[in-house]
Amino acid sequence: MILEALHNFFIFPRKELSSDCSSHEFLCQTTSIDFLAKYQFDFNTCFREGISYLSRAQEEEAMQKLNLLYHDQSASSSSTSQESVDMLLKSAADILFTERMKMKFNEWRDMIISRPVVNSHLSENIEYSTGQFQTVFFKMRPAIILNGFSSHQLKLIQQVLRTKFRDLVYVCTFGEDDTSEKKVVYSDTTEDQMLLRKDVQEDLRRSREARIKSAIGIRHVIDLLSSEQKLIVGHSCFLDIAQVYSKFIGHLPMSMKEFALGIHRIFPQIADTRHLMSVSQAVQNLMSRKSKSLSSVFSLMCPASYTSPEKSSALRPVRIEVEGDETMSSRFISGAKHEAGYDAYMTGCVFVQLCSYLDIKFEDLPPQENLAKNNMLQKHINILSPSWNSGTVVDLSTGMERPDSAYMRRFPAAVYDNIVLIWGFQSKIKLKQSVHYQRISSE
């Protein structure tokens, strides 16, 4: 008996990183939307609750931006105060504001100096809090949280601190929701100020790295499958693999060989049931003149799982059970075509039956055996057809494309030496009519 555990993931490329200025595009053909709606796809759940993701290329780009930002901040923090250009106070409001800030900061600093700090608390229970000032402790140092100031006022505050207060340091930190918090911290030595700035930068770096890791989202599943080198099974899955590459790895390569080798590095073991069907003569006889679609193959090869008049499987079907609750089981028994989990279920059933045709007996396999290493199966994996009618297959392990020996052409191969190009016909005259008229006139 084979046990199948099925999982559905709704995914949606929402913007998770505030530092990412680009907006993700979501493109979909109207025919695709109509098709999904026909099979009761839950658009609301997809858009509202879909798990976001970053491709490996997007993660690398985000980390490069973070490293560049960290380098720039380190360089700016090491610059001297003389290198900063002071703003000219042109308005009376700016002058009054700066003078008021000088008085406030001077009053707060004098309070800190006059009352020593013991065990991260002021020696007396004195609060220095107003509407825009709130005294706290930040990294074991007295600090003020700046609330309700405009960006212009914050620049003026930084200028006041830079020119008038050598022992007060302006810092900006970010919370879990990426909201910024501005503080003024008391630090009485140059060495301590350098250590404070370094700690703030390290905290910011770790926080943003954690945000990037969190934004990876559903790609963690892809990375896990890749690291475990699991056997990936699909049915006519070339386009599916290309979608996985473009969404979770990066932009599709320009050449078939580059794409094949790239996907082979990530998933070294891929089995396409469409190709496996061509390996067994018994399966070819069973599927003769029948559709090779997944539902058609499933109905013929897995009659025990599908109510169909065509119960013509040559071998006794392998017993397969679905791991899940009653709701999931009833959904699969009813045959929910084009539902992602059910399509995966059908693909798994077909794959198991095809392995049976290849004389792979699951009951004789050790639990820890890597099925992809099985001698009966190994020579048939990593072979995909670029399209249903291409007449070629691609070997992912080498990147080489070659003719498909099992491909049956509807028409003989074209002999280009026997082709004649003719043009100049009137728009309403068909080629067959023109040739007919030419024959009559020549006779």
CA separation, residue 212 to residues 7, 22, 62, 143, 202 (Å) = 25, 15, 7, 29, 15
pLDDT band at 80 (very low <50, low <70, confident <90, very high): very low
Q: What span, in angstroms and rounded, lies between the C-alpha atoms of 90 and 63?
A: 41
Q: Are residues 201 and 224 in the same domain?
A: no
Q: Same structural domain for residues 225 and 201?
A: no
Residue 166 lies in a domain: yes
State the CB neighbour count (10 A cutoff) for residue 58: 22
pLDDT confidence of residue 240: 93
| Residue 44 pLDDT level (bands cut at 50, 70, 90) | very high
**What's the Cα-to-Cα distance from 303 to each of 125, 234, 295, 316, rounded to whole Å?**
80, 20, 11, 10
Residues 254 and 203 grouped into a single domain: no
Q: What is the mean pLDDT of residues 281-308?
A: 78
Residue 147 phi, psi (nearest 5): -115, 140
The number of CA neighbours under 13 Å toward the Cβ of 209 is 8
Number of H helices, E strands in the chain: 16, 13
167/157 Cα distance (integer angstroms): 14
Q: Are residues 98 and 169 in the same domain?
A: yes
Distances (CA, A) of 412 to 10, 405, 418: 45, 15, 13
What DSSP state is assigned to residue 7? -
Domain extent for 99: 82-209
Tell whether the model's pLDDT for residue 338 goes beyond 80.
Answer: no
Last residue of a domain, one of 165, 180, 209: 209
Does residue 56 fall inside a structural domain? Answer: no
Strand partners, 322: 4
Give 429 or 386, the one with higher predicted confidence: 386
Mark whether 34 and 114 lie in a shared domain: no
Burial class (CB in 10 A: 0-12, 13-18, 19+), 383: buried
Domain count, the chain: 2
Residue 187 located in a structural domain: yes
User: Which segment, 122-126, 176-180, 245-249, 329-333, is predicted with the most confidence on average?
Assistant: 245-249
Mean pLDDT of the chain: 81
Helix or strand run (H / E) with residue 142: strand 141-146
Q: What is the pTM of this model?
A: 0.73
- What pLDDT does 295 receive? 87
The Cα–Cα gap between 158 and 152 comes to: 10
At 44, is the secondary structure helix, strand, or coil? helix
Residues 297 and 163 in one domain: no
The average pLDDT across 187-213 equals 89
Region 392-412 average pLDDT: 79
Say if residue 265 is in the same domain as residue 150.
Answer: no
Among the candidates 153, 177, 209, a domain finishes at 209
Q: Residue 73 domain-assigned?
A: no
Same domain, 40 and 101: no
User: Which of 180, 209, 238 lies at the terminal end of a domain, its last residue?
Assistant: 209
- 260 and 394 together in one domain: yes
Higher pLDDT, 354 or 16: 354
Q: How confident is the model at residue 124 (pLDDT cuts 50, 70, 90)?
A: very low
In this structure, is residue 7 part of a structural domain? yes
CATH of the domain at 381: 3.30.420.10
> Is residue 68 in some structural domain?
no
pLDDT (tens digit, 9 = 90+) per residue, 366-385? 777 778 788 888 889 999 98
Same domain, yes or no: 150 and 186: yes
Residues 223 and 361 placed together within one structural domain of the fold? yes
Q: Does residue 127 form part of some domain? A: yes
Residues 235 and 272 in one domain: yes
Q: Token match 């290849």: residue?
A: 358
User: Does any domain span residue 74?
Assistant: no
